[in-house]
Protein backbone atom coordinates (compact mmCIF):
# COMPACT_ATOMS: atom_id res chain seq x y z
CA UNK A 1 0.00 0.00 0.00
CA UNK A 2 1.31 3.45 -0.93
CA UNK A 3 1.64 6.03 1.83
CA UNK A 4 2.47 9.75 1.86
CA UNK A 5 6.05 10.87 2.35
CA UNK A 6 6.94 13.34 5.10
CA UNK A 7 8.44 16.62 4.03
CA UNK A 8 9.67 19.37 6.31
CA UNK A 9 10.07 23.09 5.63
CA UNK A 10 11.70 25.69 7.86
CA UNK A 11 10.51 29.28 7.80
CA UNK A 12 13.71 31.13 8.73
CA UNK A 13 12.95 34.65 10.01
CA UNK A 14 15.33 37.61 9.99
CA UNK A 15 14.47 41.26 10.50
CA UNK A 16 10.85 40.86 9.42
CA UNK A 17 11.66 38.75 6.36
CA UNK A 18 11.83 35.03 5.56
CA UNK A 19 14.36 32.99 3.59
CA UNK A 20 13.10 31.58 0.28
CA UNK A 21 14.81 29.63 -2.47
CA UNK A 22 14.00 29.03 -6.11
CA UNK A 23 13.73 25.26 -6.61
CA UNK A 24 15.59 23.48 -9.39
CA UNK A 25 16.00 19.90 -10.53
CA UNK A 26 13.18 18.43 -8.42
CA UNK A 27 9.41 18.47 -8.46
CA UNK A 28 8.23 22.05 -8.20
CA UNK A 29 11.15 23.33 -10.28
CA UNK A 30 11.21 27.12 -10.71
CA UNK A 31 8.87 27.68 -7.76
CA UNK A 32 9.84 29.38 -4.49
CA UNK A 33 9.96 27.56 -1.19
CA UNK A 34 11.54 27.53 2.25
CA UNK A 35 14.60 25.42 3.08
CA UNK A 36 13.62 21.83 3.75
CA UNK A 37 13.48 18.28 2.59
CA UNK A 38 12.57 14.79 3.72
CA UNK A 39 12.32 13.62 7.32
CA UNK A 40 14.75 10.72 7.69
CA UNK A 41 14.10 7.48 9.57
CA UNK A 42 14.25 8.04 13.37
CA UNK A 43 15.18 11.72 12.92
CA UNK A 44 13.62 14.35 15.18
CA UNK A 45 11.82 17.29 13.58
CA UNK A 46 14.38 19.72 15.00
CA UNK A 47 17.35 17.66 13.78
CA UNK A 48 15.80 17.43 10.32
CA UNK A 49 15.13 21.17 10.21
CA UNK A 50 18.65 22.09 11.31
CA UNK A 51 20.22 19.59 8.90
CA UNK A 52 18.21 20.79 5.93
CA UNK A 53 18.78 24.51 6.59
CA UNK A 54 22.52 23.91 6.98
CA UNK A 55 22.84 21.56 3.98
CA UNK A 56 20.95 23.90 1.66
CA UNK A 57 21.93 27.38 2.86
CA UNK A 58 24.79 27.29 5.38
CA UNK A 59 22.67 29.39 7.75
CA UNK A 60 22.47 28.70 11.50
CA UNK A 61 19.09 29.04 13.24
CA UNK A 62 17.90 29.29 16.83
CA UNK A 63 15.12 27.42 18.64
CA UNK A 64 12.58 25.80 16.35
CA UNK A 65 8.83 25.90 16.77
CA UNK A 66 5.96 24.10 15.09
CA UNK A 67 4.14 26.38 12.61
CA UNK A 68 1.65 24.07 10.86
CA UNK A 69 1.27 21.29 8.31
CA UNK A 70 -0.20 20.70 4.89
CA UNK A 71 -1.51 17.74 2.91
CA UNK A 72 0.09 18.09 -0.53
CA UNK A 73 -0.97 16.15 -3.62
CA UNK A 74 1.16 16.25 -6.78
CA UNK A 75 -1.15 14.38 -9.17
CA UNK A 76 1.01 14.70 -12.29
CA UNK A 77 4.05 13.31 -10.50
CA UNK A 78 2.04 10.76 -8.50
CA UNK A 79 3.47 12.12 -5.23
CA UNK A 80 1.72 12.72 -1.94
CA UNK A 81 3.37 14.55 0.97
CA UNK A 82 2.48 15.64 4.44
CA UNK A 83 4.63 18.73 4.92
CA UNK A 84 5.48 19.90 8.42
CA UNK A 85 6.34 23.59 8.71
CA UNK A 86 8.67 24.81 11.43
CA UNK A 87 9.72 28.37 12.22
CA UNK A 88 13.11 29.51 13.51
CA UNK A 89 15.02 32.75 13.81
CA UNK A 90 18.24 33.33 11.88
CA UNK A 91 21.32 33.31 14.12
CA UNK A 92 24.25 33.59 11.72
CA UNK A 93 25.49 33.01 8.21
CA UNK A 94 24.88 34.37 4.76
CA UNK A 95 22.61 32.12 2.67
CA UNK A 96 24.50 30.47 -0.16
CA UNK A 97 23.43 27.85 -2.67
CA UNK A 98 25.06 24.70 -1.29
CA UNK A 99 23.01 22.29 -3.42
CA UNK A 100 23.04 23.80 -6.93
CA UNK A 101 21.33 20.70 -8.32
CA UNK A 102 18.27 21.52 -6.13
CA UNK A 103 18.18 25.31 -5.76
CA UNK A 104 19.09 28.25 -8.01
CA UNK A 105 19.19 31.07 -5.42
CA UNK A 106 18.28 32.15 -1.89
CA UNK A 107 16.84 35.52 -0.91
CA UNK A 108 15.16 37.27 1.99
CA UNK A 109 11.55 38.27 1.25
CA UNK A 110 8.76 40.00 3.13
CA UNK A 111 6.07 37.56 4.32
CA UNK A 112 3.38 39.51 2.46
CA UNK A 113 5.46 39.82 -0.70
CA UNK A 114 6.86 36.33 -1.40
CA UNK A 115 8.21 35.78 -4.93
CA UNK A 116 6.01 33.83 -7.33
CA UNK A 117 5.27 31.18 -8.32
CA UNK A 118 5.20 29.44 -4.97
CA UNK A 119 5.79 25.72 -4.35
CA UNK A 120 2.34 24.11 -3.79
CA UNK A 121 2.99 23.21 -0.12
CA UNK A 122 3.80 26.89 0.55
CA UNK A 123 0.57 27.92 -1.21
CA UNK A 124 -1.33 25.39 0.92
CA UNK A 125 0.30 26.75 4.08
CA UNK A 126 -0.63 30.34 3.14
CA UNK A 127 -4.27 29.33 2.54
CA UNK A 128 -4.48 28.46 6.23
CA UNK A 129 -3.79 32.12 7.10
CA UNK A 130 -0.95 31.10 9.41
CA UNK A 131 1.58 33.85 10.02
CA UNK A 132 5.01 32.91 11.44
CA UNK A 133 5.35 36.44 12.80
CA UNK A 134 2.08 36.69 14.74
CA UNK A 135 0.57 33.21 15.19
CA UNK A 136 1.25 31.54 18.53
CA UNK A 137 4.12 29.10 18.24
CA UNK A 138 4.76 25.87 20.11
CA UNK A 139 8.43 25.13 20.61
CA UNK A 140 9.40 21.61 19.70
CA UNK A 141 10.42 20.83 23.27
CA UNK A 142 6.70 21.21 24.11
CA UNK A 143 5.99 18.01 22.11
CA UNK A 144 8.35 15.72 24.02
Query: Which CATH number does the domain 5-143 belong to among 3.90.79.10, 3.20.20.70, 3.40.50.1360, 3.40.50.720?
Result: 3.90.79.10
pLDDT in tens, 54-90: 999 999 999 999 999 999 999 888 999 999 999 999 9
pLDDT in tens, 9-39: 999 999 999 999 999 987 899 999 999 999 9
Please report, for the chain, the start and end positions of each structural domain, with discontinuous segments joined by +: 5-143
- Mean predicted confidence (pLDDT) in 116-124: 97
pLDDT in tens, 40-50: 999 999 999 99
Stated as kind and residue range, the H or E segment containing 49 is helix 45-57
Q: Which residues contact 17 (CB under 8 A, 6 or more apart)?
A: 108, 109, 110, 111
Predicted pLDDT of residue 96: 98
Could you give the maximum distance between any two Cα atoms of the chain, in Å? 45
pTM of the model as a whole: 0.93
Amino acid sequence: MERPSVGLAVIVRKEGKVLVGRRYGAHGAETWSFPGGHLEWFESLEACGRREVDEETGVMVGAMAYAGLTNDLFAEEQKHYITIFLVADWVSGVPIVREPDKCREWRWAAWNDLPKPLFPPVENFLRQKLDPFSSPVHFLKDFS
